[in-house]
Structures are given as structure tokens and as C-alpha cells.
Structure 1
Amino acid sequence: MNRWKHASLLATAAASLAGAAPVPSAPPMLDNHRIAVERFGNDAPWYENRIPFFESADPRIDAVYYYRWSLFRAHQRDLGERGFISTEFLDDVSWQLEPWASLNDATGFHIAEGRWLRDRRYADDYIAHMYDGGNDRHFTDYMADSVWGRYLVDGDRPGVTRHLAAMRRLYDQWDDHFDRDKGLYWVEPLADATEYTISSIDASGGLDGFGGGQAFRPSINGYMFANARGIANIARLAGDDGVAETFDRRADTLKTTFQRDMWNPALRHFIDRHQRTTPYVTYWQPIRGRELVGYVPWAFDMIDDDPKYTAAWSHVLAPDELGGPAGMRTVEPSYEHYMRQYRYEGALAGGLRECQWNGPVWPFQTTQVLLGMANVLDHYRQSVVTRSDYMRLLRQYTQLHYQGSLLDLEEDYFPDTGRPLVGLARSHHYFHSGYVDLILGGLVGIRPSADDALEVNPLLPATGDPQALGWFRVQDVPYHGHRVAVTWDTDGRHYGRGAGLAIEVDGEEVARRATLGRMRVPVTRSDTPPIVRPIDRSVQLVRDRFPKGSASTGTNPENLHDAIDGRVWFFPQLGNGWSSDPTPAQQWYAIDFGKPVALARAELAFFADGGRFAAPSAYRMQAWNGRDWYDLAATADAPIANGITHARWTPVTTSRIRILFDQRANRAMRLVEAKLF
């Protein structure tokens, strides 16, 4: 038994002794329907039976929590037969993997967020896609670790073990980035999704740094340690002890080598070492400054509980080091090229700033550091960082989601002001980080386990601390086939059900303690419900192939394709879907499948902005009989804006479907997506 599990059992026993508040007769309940409608409007049905519902004494944390679920929803791209994936950018970028628009650098965040959904399809489809050609190693990642992390929540043994062979193949492919002499992994920072780091800038003599600068880095070595440990755990679960022992040994050896050779005593930090000699740097030379990436290994429990190492956490708290006033700096201000702008989109200095990691705040690494800090606070013996520090930095990160009163997370930020740095259209509502996982796993303190147990240890400071929370509640959290809720109420007055911390399983309160602290309760594993996978027959990822879209107006090929590209979002900053002209009043959009297809229902998504675009006042579904269009006898919902409109009919087999719209006066219409099943 490891040390923190032993400690948790002791804490649980203590909670059951004198001082624990009496168990109330019935737990408090949040009104999921009311909250979903308030937060998501007409799109509420997508969320109501999928997400855990949360509230706290901090309304800004609450708002960002629900915004992040809308971000997750917007980034689910339907690939048809291949199911759903999570995208990083809402729209296309030139470096994505075609035709799916997948990128693997943020996969760990995507799966970590999606594991908390009661609808397991999204994470399940995504994992299957990435292990079946969707991960081209364009970037480094820790996907095997995140898949194991998903299992810790859902407990689905077949779901995690079926990818073991693919995990091993992918891991071994990274041997091309393994230096056998040093026993460490290296990577070009650009392929680590972190262009313009100290290693790449210095390798160019300060002239550039977009490419080059190959280095042994805390990130890739942390990821490969985590993936090896994940594969070992999954192999053990599958009964393959030989593979488990092999990957445990690889993880242990990498950890020992990393801690010995990548710790810089002078900087008191884990740092890069150059992997290639250039006219400006030499092989194995350490970089000349501290970077935020040095904390990444703690996100995977790679670092020993040693005061020598945990002393590094002081740098992220120091305002003249990595602790910026508006966010955690990726490089310290003492670095010669700190915040120097190298890249612009458009004319030099007259264009918009491009991405760099020489000082800006990145939600990507902010998430990783907060995950690492949560581990340190949960089970390390140290006094460098406190729960108050965690909550302060979490609130600082929360604030980055706001552009004035608007919620819109972008790529990176100025560390002194918190204003977005990259002003490009692609940056809006960027899914390159995590937040829900920080709330549920950090603030609420749910520590998922492979055992038949649930452990909760909220990372809140004691009452009276400026960063304390007087109360919170989360409910409908999926865990090992059950629904879990956790409630904290400092004095019992908010919920009126008694003071303290309480855990519920399937609506029944099973544990309570009067103060904040660790609790561990048995949760017998239950079967997870089967995943339902309806297939959208109208989706098309490759332009000019069937299915094809056509329309009465707005016939630009890209405009036509956008209504069947598998993407649904309603953010006004980035247009998405087929946009009609405002006249004539009656218009149509048609889908040609190129072959007979059996269809019985439709999901139509309409966008409205209170100005140019409005949902139609009415619509009709039609099918092609080989000669003419005819009306389907559909049971059709009235059209709604910024949500899903449903239509159903007796199944028909047809090669074409057409939707006729009655547009509202002086308004254009945007059909975000037409899905046919």
C-alpha cells in the first residue's frame, strides 16, 4: 500500500469518529434542468443528461466551468462511421491531420475532460480514432496515461485493454527520439507544441527559434514516463504481467535518469539540455534559464517526494520569476529574449502576433502545472506551496477565460496584463488545455482510483483564508458505474443539511466529516451502460465527394460544405455552416448521397445572432424518388436557434434529401449542420 493511500485510510477513519457532523436525512440537490437552460439556452438538452453539475461560492469559477463544457461540446467533430473526435481549433488549420482535423498535442486534456461525461461515447470514439491512424506523432503526447486516467473514472476494463497493442506500437515508435547514450528522450520544441523556447532561440543565436533547438526536455520525458506507467497498468489489468514488468522497468529507469541528469542545482529546477550542437550551443549543455515546463513531470507523479526537488515550486510563486501577475510565465523575465516577438501573420510588425513560448502565459502549460501542484498538495510532504496558492492560481487561470464580460479562451496571453497575445481568428474558443478536470480533481478533490473505492480530498484552504470557498456542490459525476456527488458547506447554512464535507453515491449519503480533509469510501464497481452510436449519414470531410451539399443561394463550395462537415458550434466569433442570402423568403438546402441511403430522422442546427441571422419560421423535409421531390410525413419540432431541432419520419430509402425553409423577413439563415440518420 502506498503512503498516501495509507494516509487516506487513517483520515477516513478519523472522519468517522467524534467531531463528524450528523448525517442529514436527505442530501441537497441542484436543479440540473434549470441550470442547463440558464447556462446553455436552447442547447440545454445536450448537457442536461451528460455533464456533472457544479456550483460554488465563486460565480466566476462556476461560469467558466460551464463555459468549458460548451467548449468541449463545440470541439466534438462527428466523423460519421469513425465517430467523434475532439479538435484543438474550431476551424481548419494547415498543420492538422487530414481529413479529420485531428491534432495529438492536446489529446491528454481532451480525454481528461471527456472522462467526466456520463455519455462515454465521445471519449471512447476519440481514443479509438487516435489509436487507428489518428495519431501521427505530429507532436508529443501522453495519450496512454490519459486513457488509463479515463479507466480510473469509468472502470471499463474492456474499453481500456483493447488498445494495449496499439499503445505499445506507438510507444516504441518514439525510439527515434531516444538517446541511448543518455537514456533520455529529446524533441524539437516545435514538435513539443512549444515553439520559441530557450533551447530553440539560443540554438539560433537569438535570431529565430521557430524550428530547431532539439533538446532533452522535462515534457517529453514526463510524457514517456507517464505512458510507460499507463501501459504497465493496462497490461497488468489485461493479465499480461510480462509486458507490465517491462514497462514498469522502463518507467523506473527513465525516472531515475531524469532526476539525476535533468535537475539543475544552480537554478533549483528541472531544465532542458541541448541535444544538438550548433554554432551557438553544444550537445548536453544545459539551457540558461528556468521555464514553466520544468513542472510538467509532477503532473504524472514522476518526481520523488524530496525537499531538494519540491523547492522548485517556489519559482512559480515568485513575481519576478515564473509567477506573473496575470498568469504563469513560460520563461522568466531574466532571460535575454523574454517576450521578444519573432513571428507575425502578415506584414512584419504590422501584422498580428503569432505563437511563442518565451514568456507568454499558455493555458496548455498552466493546466499541467496546476495538475502537478494538485499532486504535490495531495500526497507530498512539503511546505513550499499551499492550498491557498492553488486556489489563487486557479482563479488567475479562471480570469484568463474572460475578455471583458465575454467568455472566450484564446491561445496565449501577456503575463503582466492577461490580455490575449495572439490576435488571430483561429484563436477563439481554443481547446488546448483543461479546466473541468482541475475543478473536479483539484478543487473538489476527486482522486480516481483503480480500487473499488472513491477518495475525495478538496484542495481548499481553511475557512478564513482569502482563497477559501464557503460552499460547493457537484453532482451526477460518473464513477465506476455509479453517480457520485460531493458537497462542502462550511457552516451548514447554505444547503441547510449540516456543516462539513459529504459524499453521496447514487443519491445516498455515505460519508461525512465536519472539516475539510481526505475521505475514502468503498464503491463496488458496477457495469457501465452500453454506448449508443447512431451514425450521421450526411457528414462529409472531403470536399467534392458524396455526400454533397447544394442550395438555393450561398453556393460558394466552402459555404455549402460547412453544413455537412460534422461540426456544431454556436459561438458568434467564428462562423460555421451554410449561410443563405436574406432573400428570397423561401430557400432550400439539399444533400446528395450519391447512392440510396436508409434514413428516418434529422438533427438540424440553426444559428441566430439577434441581427443578420435568424432561425427559419418553418421548414419541410423532402426526399427524392428518382424523378421528383416529395414531402416526408415528418413529426418535426418547431425550429429553434442555437440548439438542435429534431424531425422524424417513417424510414425511407433515398439518394437525396432536401430541406425547404421559410426565412424570416430581412434575415439570412445559417444552417450550422444538417445531420441525417
Structure 2
Amino acid sequence: MPRPLAALLTALAALAPVPAPAAIDTHRVATAHYGNDAPWYEARIPFFESADPAIDRVYYYRWMIVRAHQRDLGERGFITTEFLDDVGWQLEPWASLNDATGFHLGEARWMHDRRPADDYIAFMYTGGNDRHFTDYLAASVYDRYLVDGDRAAAIRHLPAMRTLYTQWDDHFDAARGLYWVEPLLDATEYTISSIDASGGLDGFTGGDAFRPSINAYMVANARAIARLSRLAGEEPAIAADYDRRAATLAGRMEEALFIPALGHFADRHRSTNAHVRAFAPIRGRELVGYLPWTFDVARDDPQLAAAWRHLLSAEELGGRFGMRTVEPSYEHYMRQYRYDGGGHDGGRRECQWNGPVWPYQTTQVLTGMANLLDHYRHSPVTRGDYLRLLRQYTALHQQGGRLDLEENYEPDTGLPIVGLARSHHYFHSGYVDLILTGLVGIRPRADDVLEVNPLLPAAGEPQALAWFRVQDVPYHGHRVAVTWDADGSHYGRRGLAIEVDGREVARRPGLERIVLPLRRAALPAIERPVDRAVQLVRGAFPKGSASTGTDAEKVHDAIDGRVWFMPELGNGWSSAPAPAAQWYAVDFGKPVSLSRAELAFFADGGRYAVPRGYRVQAWVDGTWQDLRARADAPLANGITHARWPATTTSRVRVTFDLAPNRAMRLVELKLF
């Protein structure tokens, strides 16, 4: 063949479309993991598969946790809860807590449905954040912007961000140049500082300390406010002020909270008492010392980075089944102080941070380790270490063959410690974000760039992952897919590939950082239908009533804005098994216009079954009248839809025809 012709054919081949790897069958995968509730996930989440089935299972389980913890507040939109059911220390009547908001937003920013994160942020900045705990809310808002690129949403709450930041002045010691907090209000009761401040007798309260956590959060929040201020086009002096605050605080953290004798960031006591001395460092290493890397506060310095060796040591913070919150050398390591009910009677153990594994800090530390591996030059940890610890964390989600993440764990056995009813499917941590930003390596940015750097060890290493694919990842208004195949045996082509909106835009033969220009695209408007049936305050309108099973709390549960189908913790109104005809009604206390309903039925193959049929009725002219509804057949453990011409009424009733000898459970009735 003449050389010019050969060159032409080569050039034409290079221009030809490159076949993308086979897409994940999202309907099949969603149905396999979520059954009848699959449509919710198909419309909202990125899909992932890999050579490690355990990671895959937990990835999809963690999306189920996201779904279960979304609470619809009606006109105030959605928030995300920490516990599936109510606890005594939540903010009423919302059932919100602010300590895990950063994790909630870190997961939700990867959803195609932007409403949950948007509503949640608005809630937190319009009275929903009571500073019950420390948090890094402003930083989380900015991190969400790095994924979706929605400038208007990111800057909407800037005044409230600055107000909230200033409110923390009541925990700032100007003489020390540091923030302090009681460990309990840092969501970490029974730490070294609180236990030692009590003389070893207690530690649930007390023990105020200058901690790496609150100070790292405040650096991250100040940086975020500065960046968002610039994004909003505000007076440059405003951003400069917050940049100065962040830089000064970060420098002071290193000066005061990196303890050379420990080779670790650690607390210093705030006050002197009979047991501790003001500004003396605590007498041991804690996992919280890695948070300066979680928020990129730590300098890229070999002496600081050496602290990570303590995490890799089985005698120090590296437990066999998880990261210890305190090292075993501490005098009160794993000493149990508190039991369910508050007594010291040897009953069921309550939460403590003096050694147990907590998914909360495990998530933070893995995020910090990913940062260390991605953009720090000095690191004693490897990508193999990252995958090993990610897999260790993954294993904690498995409880005797079923998936159930609980509050905390034994570091040497991996068994749950607390195990109370409230502990099931606990949303006090993150996982999806670790997979997408760490393992897959999508590093969100503020500019028009897509950067991917998978944190995988090289093929042949013990923790190597032979292949993975993630698709339908929302990023700057596009859908992104990333595929890795070490030898080409799984997807038919070797290497790392990136697709944008279904078209392959980059491929490399091995694992390496890929940086591509990507102009952001317009985002669709957020739709905000309002559920008119939500009862937030018991006894207030809307009010529920039922034919049987009239316990007030259970009747309330069917209109509390929460939907989950997990059998470990029942949710909703449960009827008696007879008579066959039953009903559930909602009284709005005023006329409202309605045109559709969503009904969530729970079924377990035993006591509870979906009804054989149902009718939607409205109170019109003093009588119940059937609505001309186009009604789906009742669906078990999913959403059943009914629609009718818009009708104004003050009451709605749904009548049910029960299956023989079976009760029914109405998880939630939503009316729009």
C-alpha cells in the first residue's frame, strides 16, 4: 500500500467514533437492589460496578440510606435526618441534627435531583441550624457547587453564612487564636479531653478543648465564604478578610495543635481544674488529628505527614476491623462509662469515642487520605493502604449477611457496640462520595475542567482493582462516565476511559491523572411539588385518622414525610388484619386543591401485604365521594401513584380492600 494512502487511512481511523464500553443496565441493577422502589433510584443516582462485589453492594446500600433519610417537610421542602426515627436531642419538629450535614450534602451533591440538597441548605440557613453541634456547612455548600456548578444556588445564602460564622465567636479564644468546644458538642462524647477533665470518672460532658476538628471546620468555612464572595462579585475586601481569617487560623493550628511529642495534631485543654492544666496537650493520639488533611488545612510537610504512620500501625490507631478513635495505650481506652438509660449497670452500651470505630470519623479520615494521595507530595501512605482501609470500612456495613450500618463498632472484632433500635441504617457518615472522589477519582473543580485521578494501586498489587465503571455522574450539567479495565478482559479495551454525555473523550493505557476542558451546561430548573399531607406537629393540622390501629404515633407516622421499607425499624400506620374494608383519612382543617397521591405500602411476605385494591375519596358537600382517579395497582415496597382532576376539599380518605387474614402497613400517604 502506498505510504500516503496508509497515512490517510490511519488518520481516518483516528477520526472514527470509538465504541464506548458497554453501559450498565441501570434498570436491571436498580431492580436487583431496590425491587419495586427502583424508579426512584433510576432517575437520581450514578450507577457503579467493579471487580469487588462487596463495594458494589455497599455503594447501592448507601444510596438506600440516602433515600430513607430524606424527610419531606411539606412547604419547607426536604431535609436529611441522621436517625431513621426520632431521638430526644433532635431539633423539633423537624427531626434534624446538624453534625452530619456535611456527609448528607457530600452524598446528595451526586444526585441528578438537586432539590434535596437545595432544600436542605435553605433549611439550615433559615433557622434549621441551632449550632447544637459543630459543622462545616459553608464548606459543604461550596463543595456542592464544585459538582453541579450552580452559581445562583451557591451564593444564595452568603449573608446567612457570614452570620453563622460570626456566631461561633462565642467559642473563640482571642488570646489563644483558636476555637474551643466541649467534645459532646463536637458530636464526640467521651474523648481524652473530657474523660481526663473528670479525673477518669466520666466524660459525657465537660472537657472543653481546642480541637483539630472545630478549628479545621472554621478554616474550611472561612475559605468557602471567601470563594463564594468572589463568585458573587462582592467587594474584594470581604473575601480578603475571610482568606486572612482562614490563613491565620490554619497557621495557629499548626503552631499549637500539632504536638511534636505525639507527632500528631491533638487537643489542648481549655481550662485548669484538679485534673488537667489549661493549654496542656492531651495525653494520647486520637483519630480526630487527621482532620487537617480532610479540609486541606495541613501544609505539605514531611514532619506533619508522618502522623499518618500511626494510622497504619496495628498497635496505634489501626484496628484490625476499623480505625480506632483513640490508641490502646490510653489509660481509659474502651472503658465503658455509659449504658442505655444512663446507668452504669452493665446494660446495653451507649456511644463513646474512647477507642470504638465510628463511621463518622472513618469517612473524614478516608477523605483526608484521598487528599493526601491526590495532591500532597509527602505521604507515608499508599494507594494500596487507601483501598485496604476503604474495604475495611465497607465490611462494617455487613451484619450477619445483611446490610445494616450502625453507630459504632469494636475495633478488634468488627461487631456493633450500641445496637439500639435507633442505630439501624445510621446516616452519620459518607460512602458514595468516597467511591466517586477517591476510588474513581473524580476531583470536582470550580473551573470548566473535568479532572479524574483514580486512587487505585497498580495491577498486581494486593489491593489492586481489575476493573470498574461508573456512569450517569452529574457534573457541571453533563453526564460523565469513567471506566477502568486493567488488561481489557472485562470491557474489551484496556485502560482508563472517560465519557461525557455518551461520547468517549479520553483514554489512557494505564492509571494516570486526566485533566480535560469541559464547558459547563445549563441546569434544568428544580421542580418543587408540595406534599400537603405532612404533619410536623402532633395534634396540629393536617390530622390523620384510621379505621383500626389507632395508636396516635402510628397514625402520625403515615403522614410524617418519611419513606423507608427497612423491616428492622417499622414505619407507618399498620391496620388490623380484619375487617377486609379499612381506611385512612387526612383532615387538612381548611380547603386545599389536590390532584394526585403517592402511597407507599410495606409488605414482608408474612403479616403485612399490600391491599388488593383501594379508592381515593374526597369530602364534598358533607359526604365522601369517590374521585375519578387513574390509580396504579398497589405496589409492595415502592410508590403507588393515583391521579384525578383537581379537586378542592378539606378531607381525603383512602379506603382499602385487604388481602385475607393480612394486615397492611401504609408507610406514607402523600397528597399533592
Q: TM-score range by the shorter chain?
A: over 0.9
Partner of residue 6, structure 2: none
Q: Does the CA-based 8 Å contact 2:614-2:657 persist in structure 1?
A: yes
1:183 pairs with 177, 182, 189, which one? Answer: 177
Quote the Cα distance in structure 2 between the aligned partners of 1:27 and 1:423. 43
By how many angstroms is 1:382 displaced?
2.4
Partner of residue 465, structure 1: 461
2:476 pairs with 477, 480, 489, which one? Answer: 480
The 3-state SS of whatever aligns with 1:614 is: coil
Q: Does the CA-based 8 Å contact 1:196-1:358 persist in structure 2?
A: yes
Quote the Cα distance in structure 2 between the aligned partners of 1:617 and 1:522. 55
The answer to whether 1:535 aligns with 2:534 is no
1:427 pairs with 423, 427, 431, which one? Answer: 423
The answer to whether 1:254 aligns with 2:254 is no
Quote the Cα distance in structure 2 between the aligned partners of 1:24 and 1:397. 37
Partner of residue 608, structure 2: 613
The 3-state SS of whatever aligns with 1:337 is: coil
Letter in 2 for 1:227: N
Q: Does the CA-based 8 Å contact 1:228-1:247 persist in structure 2?
A: yes
The 3-state SS of whatever aligns with 1:658 is: strand
By how many angstroms is 1:302 displaced?
0.2
The 3-state SS of whatever aligns with 2:642 is: strand
Partner of residue 95, structure 1: 89
1:574 pairs with 569, 590, 593, which one? Answer: 569
1:342 pairs with 337, 340, 343, which one? Answer: 337
By how many angstroms is 1:23 displaced?
7.9
Partner of residue 194, structure 1: 188
Quote the Cα distance in structure 1 between the aligned partners of 2:344 and 2:112. 48
Quote the Cα distance in structure 1 between the aligned partners of 2:522 and 2:171. 40
The 3-state SS of whatever aligns with 2:99 is: coil
Quote the Cα distance in structure 2 between the aligned partners of 1:110 and 1:627. 45
2:350 pairs with 354, 357, 380, which one? Answer: 354
The answer to whether 1:58 aligns with 2:58 is no
1:218 pairs with 212, 219, 222, which one? Answer: 212
The answer to whether 1:48 aligns with 2:34 is no
Partner of residue 165, structure 1: 159
Partner of residue 660, structure 1: 655
Letter in 1 for 2:72: D
Quote the Cα distance in structure 2 between the aligned partners of 1:462 and 1:557. 58
Q: Does the CA-based 8 Å contact 2:110-2:147 persist in structure 1?
A: yes
Partner of residue 289, structure 1: 284
Letter in 2 for 1:186: W
Partner of residue 25, structure 1: 19
Q: Structure 1, residues 66-89: CA drift from partner, whole Å, max 9, x if none?
A: 000000000000000000000000
The 3-state SS of whatever aligns with 2:483 is: strand
By how many angstroms is 1:383 displaced?
4.1
Quote the Cα distance in structure 2 between the aligned partners of 1:383 and 1:676. 54
Partner of residue 644, structure 1: 639
The 3-state SS of whatever aligns with 1:100 is: coil
> What are the ranges of 5 or more consecutive residues in structure 1 without an aligned counterpart?
1-19
> What are the ranges of 5 or more consecutive residues in structure 2 without an aligned counterpart?
1-13
Of structures 1 and 2, the one with the larger relative CO (CA 8 A, separation 6+) is 1
Quote the Cα distance in structure 1 between the aligned partners of 2:344 and 2:326. 24
By how many angstroms is 1:348 displaced?
3.3
Q: Does the CA-based 8 Å contact 2:601-2:610 persist in structure 1?
A: yes
By how many angstroms is 1:277 displaced?
1.4
Partner of residue 235, structure 1: 229
1:311 pairs with 306, 309, 314, which one? Answer: 306
Quote the Cα distance in structure 2 between the aligned partners of 1:24 and 1:439. 27
Q: What is the TM-score with the length of structure 1 in the denominator?
A: 0.96
Q: Does the CA-based 8 Å contact 2:565-2:637 persist in structure 1?
A: yes
Quote the Cα distance in structure 1 between the aligned partners of 2:22 and 2:345. 56
Letter in 2 for 1:320: E
Quote the Cα distance in structure 2 between the aligned partners of 1:551 and 1:612. 19
Quote the Cα distance in structure 1 between the aligned partners of 2:395 and 2:229. 41
Quote the Cα distance in structure 2 between the aligned partners of 1:505 and 1:383. 32
Q: Structure 1, residues 256-278: CA drift from partner, whole Å, max 9, x if none?
A: 11001111111100000000112
Partner of residue 268, structure 1: 263
Q: Does the CA-based 8 Å contact 2:302-2:379 persist in structure 1?
A: no
Q: Structure 1, residues 147-199: CA drift from partner, whole Å, max 9, x if none?
A: 00000000000000111100000000000000000100000000000000000
Q: Structure 1, residues 245-304: CA drift from partner, whole Å, max 9, x if none?
A: 110000000001100111111110000000011210011011000000000110110000
Partner of residue 85, structure 1: 79
By how many angstroms is 1:495 displaced?
1.1
By how many angstroms is 1:492 displaced?
1.3
By how many angstroms is 1:28 displaced?
2.4
Letter in 2 for 1:63: R
Quote the Cα distance in structure 2 between the aligned partners of 1:670 and 1:242. 58
Letter in 2 for 1:266: A
Quote the Cα distance in structure 2 between the aligned partners of 1:360 and 1:373. 20
Quote the Cα distance in structure 2 between the aligned partners of 1:384 and 1:431. 31
By how many angstroms is 1:617 displaced?
0.9
The answer to whether 1:494 aligns with 2:490 is yes
Q: Does the CA-based 8 Å contact 2:265-2:290 persist in structure 1?
A: yes
Quote the Cα distance in structure 2 between the aligned partners of 1:27 and 1:243. 48
Partner of residue 622, structure 1: 617
Q: Does the CA-based 8 Å contact 1:27-1:507 persist in structure 2?
A: no
The 3-state SS of whatever aligns with 1:353 is: coil
Q: Does the CA-based 8 Å contact 2:372-2:379 persist in structure 1?
A: no
Letter in 1 for 2:102: G
1:598 pairs with 593, 604, 617, which one? Answer: 593
By how many angstroms is 1:356 displaced?
0.2
Quote the Cα distance in structure 2 between the aligned partners of 1:460 and 1:146. 26
Letter in 2 for 1:484: V
C-alpha change, 1:239 and 1:105, in structure 2 (3 Å) is: same
Quote the Cα distance in structure 2 between the aligned partners of 1:243 and 1:532. 33
Superposed counterparts of 1:398-413, under 5 Å: 398-413=394-409
The 3-state SS of whatever aligns with 1:236 is: helix
By how many angstroms is 1:43 displaced?
0.2
Partner of residue 105, structure 1: 99
Letter in 2 for 1:517: E
Quote the Cα distance in structure 2 between the aligned partners of 1:452 and 1:330. 39
RMSD: 1.2
The answer to whether 1:440 aligns with 2:436 is yes
Quote the Cα distance in structure 2 between the aligned partners of 1:472 and 1:206. 48
Letter in 2 for 1:640: L
By how many angstroms is 1:638 displaced?
0.3
Partner of residue 630, structure 2: 635
Q: Does the CA-based 8 Å contact 2:373-2:379 persist in structure 1?
A: no
Partner of residue 273, structure 2: 278
Return 346-355 or 101-110, whichever deviates more: 346-355
Q: Does the CA-based 8 Å contact 1:482-1:506 persist in structure 2?
A: yes
1:670 pairs with 658, 665, 668, which one? Answer: 665
